Structure 1
Amino acid sequence: MVHPDGIIEMFTQQVKWNEDGLVPAIAQDWQTGEVLMMAWMNAEALELTAREGRGIYWSRSRGALWRKGEESGNIQHLKELRLDCDGDTVLLKVEQVGGIACHTGRRHCFYFKYDEGEWRTTEEVLRDPSELYGSKQ
């Protein structure tokens, strides 16, 4: 998914970055529409995502770019990139390789459901995070 520089520059200029130079990025399964995760992007992450055709985010805790799946192998292949009507949220429609988007070893990050006054876990762990990331978790 390689794009000419002018298109990428125009796209990043249309984004309303927050005070930290970041924009929320929602990753969605391109076939089912299931929301997999939310992460942050800076301009470089957005440009690289468009150029490389894979989910690349900004890790606030590490203060560095984060290529989804670089440690776990659960890469996100970009199928479509969208910007919402306000210009303040990016949507990545992705093919989630390996079936695990969440660092907890679940399919997606939205596994808590509010039910009868409390948050309940609705998704089982598919793979132990220590197997995905070693001792880093």
Structure 2
Amino acid sequence: MNIIIDFEKGAGLVPVIVQDADTKEVLMQAYADKEALELTLKEGYAYYYSRSRKSLWKKGETSGHLQKIVKVMVDCDEDCLLYIVHQTGAACHTGEKSCFFRELIK
């Protein structure tokens, strides 16, 4: 099957949901451009595109909190990715295991 990721819908970026391979916990959400996805697939570690810094980054490159890729899935519209990973350390820049550690209260 030939899958073509639609980067054009998101001005060159697609959202990436990251899930822990063992616990199934959602760890974070980020964005990837074509280069980030290519590096992720080639090297086996998660790369993203930072919208604020306008640059490519490897998750955990400075902190050591790497995300080893187990599987990369694409949604039915081919405009969103799911990285299933083995997480080393914390996924969140705050030091929390997951970026989703706060509950929105009504």
**TM-score, normalised to structure 1's length?**
0.72
Partner of 1:85: 76
Match of 2:15 among 24, 34, 55: 24
Question: Which range moves more in the overlay, 75-84 or 105-114?
Answer: 105-114
Partner of 1:121: none
What is the DSSP-based 3-state SS (H/G/I as helix, E as strand, rest coil) of the residue aligned with 2:91?
Answer: coil
Match of 2:94 among 104, 110, 116: 104
After superposition, residues 5-84 of structure 1 pair within 5 angstroms as 11=3, 14-17=4-7, 18-84=9-75
- Which structure has greater helix proportion? 1
Say what the alpha-carbon RMSD is for the aligned residues: 1.4
**Structure 1 vs Structure 2: percent identity of aligned residues?**
47
- The one-letter code matched in structure 2 to 1:69 is G
Larger radius of gyration: 1
**TM-score, normalised to structure 2's length?**
0.93
How many corresponding residue pairs? Answer: 105
What is the DSSP-based 3-state SS (H/G/I as helix, E as strand, rest coil) of the residue aligned with 1:112?
Answer: coil
Greater relative CO, 1 or 2 (CA 8 Å, sep 6+): 2
How far is the alpha carbon of 1:112 from its aligned partner?
1.7
